[in-house]
Amino acid sequence: MPETWTIKRVLDWTVGYLGRKGDERPRLSAEWLLSAVTGLSRVEIYTNFDRPLSPDELSRMHVLVERRGKGEPLQYVTGEMPFRHIVLRCEEGVLIPRPETEVLVDAALEGIDALGGKEAWPRVLDLCTGTGCIACSIAGEREGSRVVATDLSPKAVSLARRNVEALGLGAFVDVVECDLASAVPSELMGTFSVLVSNPPYIPSAVVPTLPEEVAGFEPRLALDGGADGLDLFRRILDLAPVALVPGGWLCVELFEDNVNDAAALCEEQGGWSRVEVREDLTHRPRVLVAVREA
């Protein structure tokens, strides 16, 4: 009689296999894959070691483990990614949300709160929305806020719209396919309390040096920010005075080596009462925050 493939046996085998394939965190990957196949949380996996996998679960696990073994990002393999207080659908062709971007959301929420007494229904403009992680987090965490989220990629727009609907935020987030704010209704320009963006910001020469899991799978459109990584930022900076209310906040995630250059561009432009650079969770300079003069 063949040996039963229990959760523990599958977990141990997968950890060993992925470790041999070069996965830096094979146990985490194995836990995620098992969760995706069985519907159990990572904690429940360890309280159900003796549970056998069904033939269908084993077949699905085999496919997912093979994909992960070839270096495909875990978020694409499982199709989801936890971000702050929500879980987002992730798909190939759309940038995977990073923990660093949660710091960007914190800054945007701070901007909403700073103008809370002035704006009964604060509007937020989220450029280069990707999965919609920023827009959905803001709408979910600040009742009454209205977010316009844009992206140039049809794949990203489709995915963001599905994430918005899955989270029940359709009344609060409008996802628009366009280049930056080109299709945002003109009557909304000048009404946004916060302009937030996680644009492509990696210098072109650096993109090929990124880990294969990033450079080999994630869309270059969402990574490459031009020679110095600030091509999109310069356009966003030009747009900000037109989009924001007096006292509005500009919050942008950037590369650790160019965020201070971006702050200098803000100072050069003028019209900002405050410009600062904030660190990410690993204490690297990452988020630019600039506040318009009132």
Which helix (H) or strand (E) covers residue 24, if one does? none
Residue 153, pLDDT > 60, answer yes
Asked whether the beta carbons of 201 and 229 are under 8 A apart, the reply is yes
The full 3-state SS of 213-276, as one line of letters, equals HHHCCCCHHHCECCCCCCHHHHHHHHHHHHHEEEEEEEEEECCCCCHHHHHHHHHHHCCEEEEE
pLDDT score of 117 more than 70: no
Asked whether the beta carbons of 87 and 132 are under 8 A apart, the reply is: no
Kindly write down the DSSP assignment for every residue of 264-283, as one continuous string. Answer: HHHHHH--EEEEEEEE-TTS
Start and end residues for every CATH 1.10.8.10 domain found in the chain: 7-71
Domain 7-71 has CATH 1.10.8.10: yes
Q: 210-264: per-residue pLDDT in tens? A: 998 899 999 999 999 999 999 999 999 999 999 999 999 999 999 999 999 999 9
Please name the fold of domain 85-292.
Answer: Rossmann fold (3.40.50)
Higher pLDDT pick, 179 / 115: 179
Q: Where in the chain is the domain with CATH 3.40.50.150?
A: 85-292
